[in-house]
Amino acid sequence: MTDVLPSPAASFKEKRYRFATEVVTVDNPDDPHHAASVPIYQSATFKQAGAGGGGEYDYSRSGNPTRTHLENHLAKIMGAKRAFAVTSGMTALDVIARLVQAGDEIVAGNDLYGGTNRLLTFLAKSQNIKTHHVDTTKAESVLPYLSEKTKLVLLETPTNPLIRIADIPTISQYVHDKCPRALVVVDNTMMSPYLQRPLELGADISYHSATKYLAGHHDLMAGVLGTRDEAVAEQLYYVINATGCGLGPFDSWLLLRGVKTLAVRMDKQQHNAVRINNFLESYGFKVHYPGSTNHPQYELHKKMATGPGAVLSFETGDIALSERIVEAAKLWSISVSFGCVNSLISMPCRMSHASIPAHVRAEREFPEDLIRLCVGIEDVEDLLDDLKTALEQAGALPSTP
C-alpha cells in the first residue's frame, strides 16, 4: 500500500501528500473569515432565502457545516468517495445493517467485538437475518456460505481480541465474483486509515469506532463509515438522515481536532506496543500481535497494512492469575475500549466480550484468561516497569530481588 493517498476524495482536487501531511491539512475554502480552525456551527436550523427553502443546509439532522468539513476530511484520509460521521461505532454498523432485509444473510467472522455480536444476534431474532460465523483467517471459509441471499460479508482485521488477520483482497474477490450484490464491510477501528485502508484493498465499506484512534483521547463517542461507491453512499446517507444519527456539531469539531494527531499518536503507540510484545514473549507468554514474527499471519498483515498497531493480547493459562495481573497494574487503567493516548488493560471475556455467552466463547476458542493491552503514548520504560511489577505481584514472574 502506498503512503501517498490515492485519487482525490470528496471535494479535494489538489496535490496529494503523504498521510501525516494530509491528516493535519483540513480544507476550509468557504470560510469568509479564513479561520485556521473549522468553526463549530452550533445551530439546529438554518435560515432560508425564500419560502421554498433550498439552502445548502436547513436542519442539522440532515447536514451541518462542521460535520460536512469533518466528513470531507475523513473521506480524504480513508480514500473514500464519501464518508459519514455518526454517533458511535455501533451506530455506524447499525446504519450499514439497515441495507440488509429480512431473509438476507450475513457472513461474518467468529472472533468479533462483543457489541458487533450483540447486534447480529438482535438482527437474527428481530428481522430473520441469519449470520454465518466463519474463520475469516482462512479466506476460502467464506465460499460455502456465499449465495444469492448473501448481502454483507463482515470482517474485522485484526480481530478483537485475538488479533487474527483476514485476507481482505482475496475475500473481496471471492465475494464480488460469486455474489455481485453483496457488500464487503471491514471494521478498520484497530488499524485506523493511517495503517490500513480497506477500500483500497477491495472492500466496499469501511467503518470505525471513531471513539478510539481517530479521536484518540476518549473524550467523545463517534462512528465513521466510508464507501467508494456513490450509490451505496446515497443509501447510507438516507438511513442516517431518516434516523437522525448524524454526529452533532460539537463532537464533529472535537473529532476533527483529534484526528489531526492520528499519525504521531499511532507512531508512538505502536512503537511502545512492539517493546511490550517483545518483553512478554521474552518471558514465554503466548502473545497475539501482528507485529511479532511469531504471529501466524505476520506476512499477510504486512501486505495489507503499514504497521502492526498498538493492541495486543496475551494468555497466562490461569484465569485467577490474569485477574491478579490486571488488578495489580497501576499505569494501565482497567477499562474497556482502546485507542486512547493512555494505556488500558482488561480481560475481554469479563468486560468487552462478556455479552457473548460462555458456551459461544468456548466454541470460538476465546481463552477466558486472555488479557488485552491497549498501549498508549506514555514513556515505554514506565509501562514496562509497571507491567513487570504487576506480573511479579500476581505471581506470574519471580520477584526481582
- Residues forming the active site: 61, 113, 187, 212
**Residue 325 and residue 364: Cα distance in Å, rounded?**
24
User: Cell digits for 4?
Assistant: 501517498
User: Cell digits for 38?
Assistant: 473549522
Of all helices (H) and strands (E), which one includes residue 94? Answer: helix 89-97
User: Cell digits for 391?
Assistant: 506480573
User: 224: which strand partners?
Assistant: 85, 208
Distances (CA, A) of 145 to 73, 80, 104, 159: 36, 28, 12, 20
Let me know if 82 is exposed, middle or buried by CB neighbors in 10 A (0-12, 13-18, 19+). buried
Bond from prior residue into 161 cis (ω within 30 degrees of 0): yes
**Residue 307 and residue 267: Cα distance in Å, rounded?**
9
Let me know if 25 is exposed, middle or buried by CB neighbors in 10 A (0-12, 13-18, 19+). middle
Sign of the C-alpha dihedral computed for residues 350, 355, 358 and 360 taken in this order: negative
Amino acid at 318: D
**Residue 272 and residue 298: Cα distance in Å, rounded?**
18
Per the listing, cell 473529532 goes with 255
For 318, residues 6+ apart whose C-beta sits below 8 A from its C-beta are 369
Q: Which of 166, 176, 303, 168 is closest to 229 using CA atoms?
A: 176
